[in-house]
Structures are given as structure tokens and as C-alpha cells.
Amino acid sequence: MIGRFTWRAILFISVAASWLAVGTTKAADAPSPAVVSPRPNILIILADDQGWGDLSINGNTNISTVAIDGLARGGAILDRFYVCPVCSPTRAELLTGRYHPRGGVHNVTNGGERLNLDEKTIADVFKAAGYATGAFGKWHNGTQYPYHPNARGFDEYYGFTSGHWGTYFDPPLDHNGQWVRGKGFIIDDLTDHAMAWMEQHKNQPFFCYLPYNTPHSPMQVPDRYWNKFADAEIKLRATRPEAEDIPFTRAALAMCENIDWNVSRVLQKLDELKLANDTIVIYFSDNGPNSWRWNGGMKGIKASTDEGGVRAPFMIRWPGHIPPGAHVPQITGVIDLLPTLADLAGVPINGAKPLDGVSLKPLLLAQAHNWPDRMIFSHWAGKVSVRTQRYRLDANSHLFDMEADPGQTKDVAAENKEVAGKLTAAVAKWKSELLPGLEDDRRPFTVGFPQFPMTPLPARDGTPHGHVQRSTGAPNCSYFKNWTSVEDAMTWDIEVATAGQYEAVVCYTCPAADIGSTVELSFNGRKIEATIAEAYDPPLMGAEHDRVPRHGESYVKDFKPLRFGMIDLPAGHGQLTLRALRVTGKQVADVRVVLLTLKSKPS
Ligand SMILES: [Ca+2]
């Protein structure tokens, strides 16, 4: 094993060489090569649906986020930092430094969240440079290998790959492709795993990605955080107070204070490991707030391409390098993080595709002299908005002077025809380059890789036929129900990469009164049958922890494996089909997921 001392020696050479090669730093400011740091660790903490306004440092007196505020004060705040209107696109842009349509991301579910396999990720970049790489949390850029994080540059993964999850207490989670039971509240658990992993890798540079899944709904949080807010008066209100759901706001703020506690634990761990000065820590959120609540007077919330939907909190700390207390007023975005972190760490970018983002190193190190204005585009569901330092052209071609009118109340296009014309043309060009064909997504779900033998095919990624329904409207953590007839079916559009013997399992529930049905799993002429002989009918979970009633996310339950035995699958594209040959009760079963595990290649 290579110890940190050896790494220091190896990395000193390359860092010193790059410092000498750049040669733009004034001699008086330059660090002595003798004290050049080793390559810094990277820790990226990403919140989910936390608005810019959900932090006390940004002026919200409803909440106290002392750890995140302290992180910001110890480094720099990017005042105008832009992400995407929803989750998976922002994550894709973080991973690639490129606008999300370039990587095929066009949806938050049904496979449209998957990042194309020909994209290099930020983890690929740091892994190639010798970093240990780990991700702990909500992935949301593809479930099946090789879309799985373990195939996208992360050596270690613990979390869930879907867009949301049905319960946050002791949930089922994915650990390097194996299903395990999480322990306690999910954010605390993810943090525990990240801290243990950082400690394990303290003697080599590490890249740690900690994408939390709160305050995304369902609105669940431990009592310790909820108790403060359960009856709290919410003094600062949403721009549209009539639209604010106060119990939802209370839950969101409690969840943000739980995040803050976990951030305090991570930062304390870095202190304990004496790594605080060697670690670049970033904190930001993936889109605007998931409800109308105070957000600094901005227009729009999550899913909007207006300012409130895409401006996120962003802070970055690197002691001894980034001046504490700095504010960066220039517009910046999540597309900038890959080039920025590679530049700060002195790590080469190993992808061949052009980036949309730029390195912010000159801004962060207060070395920027002539920083040109730029355009940052925001897209969701075909709507495109563009921001410059002064203006936003919204998705309806209204122009707003964001300096004079940050709440986007007065269209100034008529008074600024030249600006409006230039931005309108830029949006048209961006759309014509990036959007055509985006939603014509024919990527099958991938099955059968020897290095990652088990492929889960959840209900989310399947199609119900006949009477079969999803347990809820939002597919992400749904299951199939109302399977009542031999005419019904569930199909998955799959591509089998490796011909061979697969162990087939369907995770089901069935009450005692309905057991006995015979079901068949088939693919391109190969078939296998099983009989549902054992009842399993546990209660639905989730509601008991919801602080406000949920809308969209499915309640969840445990499912039992129905083992089909081995099926010989040919390589190729086709429909994996689950149907009943004989129905003995009122229903066949509820189905959560089909598991196909490659056991052996044909001899
Ligand atoms: Ca989100």
C-alpha cells in the first residue's frame, strides 16, 4: 500500500511542475515549491431540493445552519451559482462538466436519468490520477451496470441509485451492487459510511461524493430535528405566501438542520484526521426548493428555469488556498465543477469531449483580472432560460434585469432589443444543438456483465400491461400491483450483454388467500416458470414517519424472493416479460423487482 508520505513525494513533482509551467502567479504570491501541498482530497456534499434560501447564512432566520455557515465563512461563497431545475440533470452536469442533454439525460425516471456510457465522469478523472473514489447517497444517473456508480469511476458506492426513496429509516440500500439494510435515518447512515471510508483512505488522496437525498420528499426526519419545528412560527415567508404549505416548510427546515448536523460531523472528522487543510470541501444543492418557502424573493421553485429554480447555495473551503470569507459575484454553475476541481488539484482531465464549464480557479484564488461575461443555460422539459451577469431571458422570451429586478417582475425586452435579440438567438442555437432527438430514448436496460453479475430490473424501469398498475404515479420507488389476469404482463426492454446461465428471482408479495398462481418469465424464446406457493403480505411502510402527507412517492414494503432457478439467456435485445399462466386467486402478486444474476457463460 502506498502511504501518504510516498504520495506527497510523487505528487510534489507534478504539482511543482504544473506550477512552474503556468508561470502566471506573481513571484511574491507564489508558494515555495518546498511547501507545495500534496494533491488535495475532494469532498462534495450535495443536498437534494434545498433552496438557496434554506440556510441561515443566506438570511433565513427561520433556520440555524451553523456548520454550513461556518464552512462558507472558512472559504468562498459563489453568489450566483446555477444548477438544473431538477435532480438527475444537475448530477449529470457535476459528473461531466457538460450540459445534461449532451449525456442523454432527459428525465428523472424510466431510464431517462441515465448518463450515456461514452461520457467520462469526474470520478474517472480523479481515479485515473490515483485517487480513491467513493460515493455515498442518491446517485440518480442509472441503476444497471455499466450505468451504476461502480462503473462510472467510483470504487465504493453505498446508497440508492433511484431518484427518490420511499422511506428514510432503515431503508434497503445498494452497497457496491449488493442489497443491504441501511441503519437508522438515511442521512446519518450515509454520513457514517462516508466518514468511515475517508478514515480508511486517509493516507492517500480521496474523492468523496456525498449526495444526500433530503429535504427531498417524503418529508421524514428524526424527532430531534422535528421537535424544534413542529409548532414553530415561520416568520420569513415565501414570495407567494398564499402558496406556502407551512407544515411542509417546517419539515423541510428540520431536514436541513439534520443535514447541517451531519455536515458538522464530516468537518469534525476531517479535523480529527488532520485532513482539513488538505481537503477541498464543497457544499451545494441540486435544484431550487421543493415547495414555496422563503427564497430571497426569487421567482420560481424546483422544476422552473426561473432564478429560484436554478440558483443554488454554493460554498467551497480549502484552507490556505481559498481566502476565507470571499464572495464570488460572477455567474458560475455546476458545469464548472469538473474543470475547477481538476485545475485546483492539478489533475489532468482525461475525457476527450469538450466541456461546457470553465475552471473557476482564478475567481476562487482571487487571481481573475479580466473575467469575461458568459451565458449559462438552464433547461428542463424543452424549456430553456439563459443567464448572463446582468440579465435572464426566461423560457417565454421575457428579459429581466436581474440587478435591478432580481424577482423577475418587469420584462425589459422592449427597452433592450439588442440584448434580447442576442440572448434569443443564443437560446435558439443551444436548443438546436442539444435538444433534437433527446427524448427519443431507445437505450435498453443493460443486463449481464461478469464483473457485476446481478442486474436489478425494478418496476420503475418496466412497463405495465393490462390491469397491472403502478403503486403510485411517480415510478422511482414504485411496485406493480393489480396483476389479476393471464392477459396481464410486465415487460422490461433489455439488452443482454453476455449469453449464459442466469439465476432469475422476482421479489413479490401475495396474501395467503391468493397463493398458487403459476407465472412465467420469458426473453427471446427462452422461458422459465415458477409457482407462488408461499404467502408474504407485510404492511406498507412510510406513512408512520411522514411529517406531512406524501404526494407521488410510493409507500413501500418488504418483498419476498420467488426463485425461478436458472434460465439460459441469449445475448441481444428484447422484452423480458413476466406474466401469469394460471391465476388461482383474486390476484397474482405485487412485484417490486426482477433480479437476473449471471452465473456462468455457456460452455
Ligand atoms: Ca433535487
Please tell me the distance between residue 81's alpha carbon and the centre of ligand 1 in angstroms: 15
Q: Output the nine-digit C-alpha cell for 14.
A: 507534478
- Tell me what pLDDT residue 400 has: 99
* DSSP per-residue letters across 107-125: -SSTTTTPPPTT---HHHH
Q: What is the pTM of this model?
A: 0.93
Please tell me the distance between residue 49's alpha carbon and the centre of ligand 1 in angstroms: 4
Please tell me the distance between residue 420's alpha carbon and the centre of ligand 1 in angstroms: 30
Q: What is the mean pLDDT of residues 208-234?
A: 98
Three-class SS of residue 561?
strand
Please tell me the distance between residue 289's alpha carbon and the centre of ligand 1 in angstroms: 8
Please tell me the distance between residue 360's alpha carbon and the centre of ligand 1 in angstroms: 24
Span 329-373, pLDDT tens digits: 999 999 999 999 999 999 999 889 999 999 999 999 989 889 999
Residue 15 has pLDDT above 60, yes or no: no
Please tell me the distance between residue 508's alpha carbon and the centre of ligand 1 in angstroms: 30
Please tell me the distance between residue 216's alpha carbon and the centre of ligand 1 in angstroms: 6
* Average pLDDT over all residues of the chain: 93
Work out the percent of the chain whose per-residue pLDDT is above 70.
94
Q: How far is CA 334 from CA 84, 85, 89, 352, in A?
A: 8, 12, 10, 19
Task: Round to whole Å and give the CA distance between 583 and 485.
Answer: 7
Please tell me the distance between residue 568's alpha carbon and the centre of ligand 1 in angstroms: 40
Binned at pLDDT 50, 70 and 90, residue 515 comes out as very high
Span 96-139, pLDDT tens digits: 999 999 999 999 999 999 999 999 999 999 999 999 999 999 99
Please tell me the distance between residue 48's alpha carbon and the centre of ligand 1 in angstroms: 4
Please tell me the distance between residue 303's alpha carbon and the centre of ligand 1 in angstroms: 9
Q: Are 289 and 237 in contact, with CB atoms under 8 Å apart? A: no
Higher pLDDT, 27 or 305: 305
- Tell me what pLDDT residue 351 has: 87
- Tell me what pLDDT residue 369 has: 87
Please tell me the distance between residue 287's alpha carbon and the centre of ligand 1 in angstroms: 5
Q: How far is CA 271 from CA 29, 266, 276, 353, 592, in A?
A: 27, 9, 5, 37, 43
Please tell me the distance between residue 438's alpha carbon and the centre of ligand 1 in angstroms: 21
* DSSP per-residue letters across 73-113: HTSEEEEEEE--SSHHHHHHHHHHSS-GGGGT---SSTTTT
Neighbours of ion ligand 1 (CB under 5 A): 48-49, 87, 286-287
Residue 290 has pLDDT above 90, yes or no: yes
- Exposed/middle/buried for residue 228 (C-beta within 10 Å: 0-12, 13-18, 19+): middle
- Tell me what pLDDT residue 27 has: 34
- Tell me what pLDDT residue 37 has: 52
Q: What is the mean pLDDT of residues 432-451?
A: 96
Please tell me the distance between residue 310's alpha carbon and the centre of ligand 1 in angstroms: 11
